[in-house]
Amino acid sequence: MKKRIRYRKRYAFLGAVAGYFIALLASTILPTFIMLAIPLLTAAIGFVFAEKKEQQLSRFTVPEPDQRITSTEAESEQTKREPESTYSSEIREYLQIIKEIVVNENDKRNLDDEISEKTTNLCSKIDTLLPYIETLGSAQTKHDIKMLVMKDLNSVINPFLRLSVENKLNNRRKLLDGLRDINLKLKVISTSIEQHDIYELERKLNLITEKYNAKEIY
């Protein structure tokens, strides 16, 4: 099962990278919103292609005896490890694509070290916050993070990569300012999560105090 998931992700990622380069080549003739959608579309095509490929291979694949898991073992495994939500999985895959593109462009010297480092750091911060955002359960916070990754971060990196060397130098500071603003938004979200944790801690401590103080009275 893990191999299948990695297989699908690999094809989805390859599709996204291919779409990214197609968008770069077609940047002079296509509007921006279509170019932004191309990597997502090709990633979906890659995922579907991998799924069909797996179906074809599964007809000829027989599981090894030691790979078969009883229903009791499967249920036990599920209780030990909670599956990642669709929301977190989608955000993480998109973050991974952005990081791969940034690192690749940095290797080709199309993106300088500072921009590459700040972008990958932002992606890592968002990835770290995801479990806490899930626990917080705030629909608004989830929406903010999703827009921050899929719209804001993506919309400043991709247009910058399409610029000429001269225009990249002229607009470098603007891009860094945009990344700084995104980082400030992350700090606000992080603070709200921490405040929620403080509130929950105080609430539970008060309940414990009331519980054991009441027992002492009797």
Q: What is the pLDDT of residues 104-132, one digit of tens each?
A: 999 988 889 999 999 999 999 999 989 88
As a dihedral over the C-alpha atoms of residue 176, residue 181, residue 183, residue 189, rounded to 10 degrees, the angle is -170
Provide the residue type at 168 as one letter.
K
Please indicate whether residue 172 or residue 84 has the higher confidence score (pLDDT).
Answer: 172
pLDDT at 34 over 60: yes
Q: What angle do CA 86, 88, 93 make, to 5 degrees?
A: 95
pLDDT at 66: 43
Half-sphere exposure of 124 (CA within 13 A, CB side): 6
175, 156 contact by CB (below 8 A): yes
Q: Are 119 and 153 in contact (CB under 8 A)?
A: yes
Give the model's confidence band at 69: pLDDT under 50 very low, under 70 low, under 90 confident, else very high. Answer: very low
Cβ neighbours for 172, distance < 8 A, ≥ 6 positions apart: 112, 115
Structure tokens at 32: 């921006």
- Rounded to 10 degrees, the C-alpha dihedral 74/77/79/83 comes to -100
Task: Please state whether the predicted TM-score (pTM) of the whole model is above 0.95.
Answer: no
Helix, strand counts (H, E) of the chain: 8, 0
